Amino acid sequence: MASGPNIVLDITRLVTRFSRPTPNGIDRVDVEFAKRFFANGRDDAAGVIWTPFGAPRLNPRRSLAIVNSLLSHWREPKASEALRTGRSDSTTLAGARGGRSLYVNVSTFPIWNPLYVRWLRRQTERKPVFFVHDLIALTHPEYFPAMEEIHHIHKKDAPSGTGITLAEGLIKAHGGVNKWVLGEAKQGELPINARREGEVPGTHSILYTSNVDKITITHEAFSRKGFAEGAVHAAAWLIGKKGVFGMKDMLG
């Protein structure tokens, strides 16, 4: 990837989604970006599919054909090669590359694979651009992570199961912490502040703090209705399936 197109969009994750009968929310963001990116007819754009054995690069027409095949698989509206929506996503990215070509990934897939990370680091002529907050810990290690959660006073466990799951994900992503602790933390530990107040159904926050600012990402449940609806959707998804499944299986 040292020469060639100025903008390369990674569609590895989309290729893996042929195993799913319907798209989830992240799938829709990923495929919509790819659909518009490849349908703008730029000669300096390409797609790439990463594998442990190499990363073949595809021209826009072939990349769009893969995207449309996936949309057909999901029975979603396909993109037209004549799609025009004003200033294209690829044009916007090209104006921001600052003299270096771009490698674009709308998700973090497959950032957890060491072979992928080594491959990405070898692409010295391309500037990687990701579109999700998961990479804060990798690209800006000066930001120290912490977590806060608020639940109702009747909840006995602290931290909650959701809090522990979030903490384990943060530990994997951040090289500066290796375990979580409830309350004050020492160096190398991820602090979790678990509060119990009134009838709060559930609030979880991830905080990244540096010497000059703080970034906070929060999910706040307004009632238990969303949890109940999620359980109903999970029950419907399980119809016809055998085995043991978790929410990650359902959400993809």
pLDDT tens figures, 151-167: 999 999 999 999 998 99
By the 10 Å C-beta count (0-12 exposed, 13-18 middle, 19+ buried), 52 is classed as exposed
Average pLDDT over residues 160-182: 87
- pLDDT tens, residue by residue, 19-76: 988 887 778 878 888 888 888 766 778 999 999 888 888 999 999 999 999 999 998 8
Which residue spans of the chain are classified as CATH 3.30.360.10?
141-221
pLDDT band at 2 (very low <50, low <70, confident <90, very high): very low
pTM for the full predicted model = 0.48
pLDDT band at 213 (very low <50, low <70, confident <90, very high): confident
Q: How far apart are CA 7 and CA 97, in angstroms?
A: 9
Whether the pLDDT of residue 116 is over 80: the answer is: yes
Tally of CB atoms within 10 A around 106: 22
Average pLDDT over residues 225-243: 90
Q: How far apart are CA 236 and CA 98, in angstroms?
A: 49
> What does the block give as tokens for 40?
């703008």
Could you tell me which residues are beta bridge partners of residue 209? 144, 214
CB-CB contact of 136 with 215 (8 Å): yes
The confidence score (pLDDT) of residue 83 equals: 43
pLDDT band at 211 (very low <50, low <70, confident <90, very high): confident
H/E segment holding residue 126: strand 126-130
Lowest mean pLDDT among 14-23, 114-123, 132-141: 132-141
Could you tell me which residues are beta bridge partners of residue 148? 193, 205
Nearby residues of 166 by Cβ (< 8 Å), 6 or more positions away: 147, 204, 206
CB-CB contact of 14 with 137 (8 Å): no
Most confident segment among 39-48, 127-136, 184-193: 184-193
Rg (CA), the chain: 21
Which is higher by pLDDT, 139 or 218?
218
Q: What is the CATH number of domain 141-221?
A: 3.30.360.10
Whether the pLDDT of residue 84 is over 70: the answer is: no
Q: What are phi and psi of 138, to 5 degrees?
A: -85, -40
Chain-wide mean pLDDT for the chain? Answer: 82
Lowest mean pLDDT among 4-8, 124-128, 154-158, 177-181: 4-8
